[in-house]
Amino acid sequence: GQQVMQIPQYQHVQEGEDFTTYCNSSTTLSNIQWYKQRPGGHPVFLIQLVKSGEVKKQKRLTFQFGEAKKNSSLHITATQTTDVGTYFCAGPRGSNYKLTFGKGTLLTVNP
Amino acid sequence: DAGITQSPRHKVTETGTPVTLRCHQTENHRYMYWYRQDPGHGLRLIHYSYGVKDTDKGEVSDGYSVSRSKTEDFLLTLESATSSQTSVYFCAISPTGDRTDTQYFGPGTRLTVL
């Protein structure tokens, strides 16, 4: 079945450093979504990418969707302690209704 | 945050006992989902519902059943809890279930099976 793989599983950075997490799908995706989960919290939707090669920005966060629509990345510039958490990518699975989530990348930031 | 609540928020139970987790939404969304989250596994879909009394299995449905008698409530039942079902359970909702639909998550229930 469809798989969504994320790397790295963990990333520890010093505050101010950049961070990137990558998401790869075994099949072409119609769209990809990104979620953030703070420690002890629940996943919260960040953004959705739909078009091939699409790039979207949210302040210090840059999201990209690959040309082949099989991979995506999230880049954070100049990390802050508020960026701490697990970042998940997710793509639609099969028919409507269901998402396949990657296993997530846990970001920790040393102040 | 979307109007989603889960109850209980924490539960400790013993192996072999039945457990029911409740998800309640005030958004009148059609689709509801139950996930479990375990270290190293991310979020895995247990069951989902696409309407009142309409449910289907996810990827890890063994040992779980669900019911949805009202739009706002989606119940997850562990008929006979096992230690492998110790996990954090999240409910999620989405308005239409369309491929571009966003899912909104509840606060989660931490279940420990001794």
pLDDT tens-digit readout, B57-102 = 999 999 999 999 999 999 999 999 999 999 999 999 998 877 778 8
Other CB atoms closer than 10 Å to residue B1's CB: what's the count?
9
Find the closest chain B residue to A101 by CA distance: B43
pLDDT at position A1, please?
60
Which has more pLDDT, A2 or B23?
A: B23
Q: Tell me, what amino acid is at B8?
A: P
| CA of A42 vs chain B CAs: smallest distance (Å) | 5
% of chain B at pLDDT higher than 70: 98
Q: Under a CB-based contact definition with an 8 Å cutoff, are residues A35 and A88 in contact?
A: yes
pLDDT at position A2, please?
63
Residue A92 has pLDDT above 90, yes or no: no
| CA of A19 vs chain B CAs: smallest distance (Å) | 20
Q: Tell me, what amino acid is at B34?
A: W
